[in-house]
Amino acid sequence: MDRYNPKAHHNPHAHVIHAPGARLMHGVKLRYVWNKVQGHGHRSPNASLNLVSFIDFLSVIVIFLLMSFSASGEIAVDKNVTLPKAENVEAIIDAPMVAVNGNQILVDGVQAGSTRSIEELGRLQKIDELFALLKNKRELWKQVQPNKPFPGVCILQVDQNVSALVVKSVFQTAAFAGYPNVSFMVGKIPSTSGAAPAAE
């Protein structure tokens, strides 16, 4: 029964039960639409694109990005610090960050001393503010994880032009505060010798 024909006998159940089969509209047959898409015997207006090379390209990008993906994320470096570069390095670890630039010393962004005052004094010294901040961090770590041994690792982000006197003072202060395993953050340069990369 054709439900679009007004002359047809009105069946109260017509809206529920229909004859199976494809239908579009009363006047426009599905075959007509199909022929229209095909071009009525002429060249089809639909053009198909070969997607194989496109999918290959996307797959290569996905594989490259997955291989260079780092789950540990980016570690913020102080904007006033220019890190030196080295070849024989290890992977970075999660530890308190001490940034040392030409003017100040910062622990995780909090000021912990002045570089200028160390250079003016001209001798190795314990930096009291840095010592207090690192000691607080160590005690907090021990409170949070009382059953684990304290690793005693901290990372120094030192500007490449800072003098050895400042580096040694910060190093010694960190050791006094309970961080004997000090690491220096550096930029990584590719291996020139072709040897195996450092253990990570």
Partner 1 sequence: MGGVDVDTGGKKRSTNSEINMVPFIDLLFVTVAFLLITAVWVTNSRINADAQVPGPPDPNKELTPQTPEKVLNLHIGENDFGLVWKQGATVVSEVKVPKTPVELGDGSTKVLRYPDLAKKIEEEWKAQGGHRDASDKKLDQCILYSDNRTQFKELVAVLDALYSPKREMILGKETKKIPVFNMTFSVR
DSSP assignments along 41-77, one per residue: TS--S------HHHHHHHHHHHHHHHHT--TT-PPP-
**Residue 151 binds to partner 1 (criterion: CB under 8 A):** no
Cβ-based nearer residue to partner 1, 16 or 195: 195
**Residue 142 binds to partner 1 (criterion: CB under 8 A):** no
Nearest approach, Cβ of 196 to partner 1 (angstroms)? 5
Q: Name the 3-class secondary structure at 104.
A: strand
Cβ-based nearer residue to partner 1, 147 or 193: 193
Alpha-carbon distance of 110 to 139, in angstroms, equals 17
Alpha-carbon distance of 21 to 16, in angstroms, equals 15
Pick from 91, 111, 140, 150 the residue near partner 1 by CB under 8 A: 91
Query: Which tokens hold the place of 165?
Result: 């006197």
Inter-residue contact 115 to 158 (CB < 8 Å): no
Pick from 23, 83, 114, 129 the residue near partner 1 by CB under 8 A: 83
**Residue 59 binds to partner 1 (criterion: CB under 8 A):** yes
Inter-residue contact 164 to 135 (CB < 8 Å): no
Nearest approach, Cβ of 173 to partner 1 (angstroms)? 10
Identify the bridge partners of residue 106 per DSSP, sorted by sequence position: 99, 111
Cβ-based nearer residue to partner 1, 19 or 196: 196
Inter-residue contact 168 to 125 (CB < 8 Å): no
Query: Which tokens hold the place of 101?
Result: 């630039």
Cβ-based nearer residue to partner 1, 42 or 79: 79
Cβ-based nearer residue to partner 1, 141 or 184: 184
Chain contacts with partner 1 (rule: CB under 8 A): 48, 51-52, 54-55, 58-59, 61-62, 65-66, 68-70, 73-75, 77, 82-93, 122, 124, 155, 158-165, 167-168, 171-172, 174-175, 179-189, 193, 195-196, 198-199
